[in-house]
Homo-oligomer: A and B are copies of this chain.
């Protein structure tokens, strides 16, 4: 007992969720689809995020192998984050999640739906 969700994961679904779930991870991934970004660029492009959470999520995803930290040498300190090739394989996954979410919102804007298509069936 007391083990975290990430340590049990008998199911690959949970593995994937442990990689992409987090308050801001989806958003960060979304930003990085267009190309590498510097830490501060990311921070500014997501106004609500705190520096701490950004760095935490970046580090977690880097540890999972889907993000890459590239530090330029010599200069003051420029760090760029980008998707690794493996991270890019997540794109279709995010895409599926995104389109299902859109459909779900259309059909069920009030988070409470009655299956009414096809007439009452009770």
Residues of chain A whose beta carbon lies under 8 Å from any beta carbon of chain B: 5, 10-17, 19-21, 23, 26-27, 30, 63-65, 68, 84-86, 89-90, 92-94, 96-105, 107-108, 111-113, 115, 117
Contact = CB atoms under 8 A, between A and B. Distances in A.
Given A11-B30, A65-B112, A100-B89, A5 B23 contact: yes
B115 A15 contact: no
Nearest to A86: B107
Given A108-B65, A115-B85, A101 B16 contact: yes
Question: How many copies of this chain does the complex contain?
Answer: 2
A16 B104 contact: yes
A92 B96 CA distance: 9
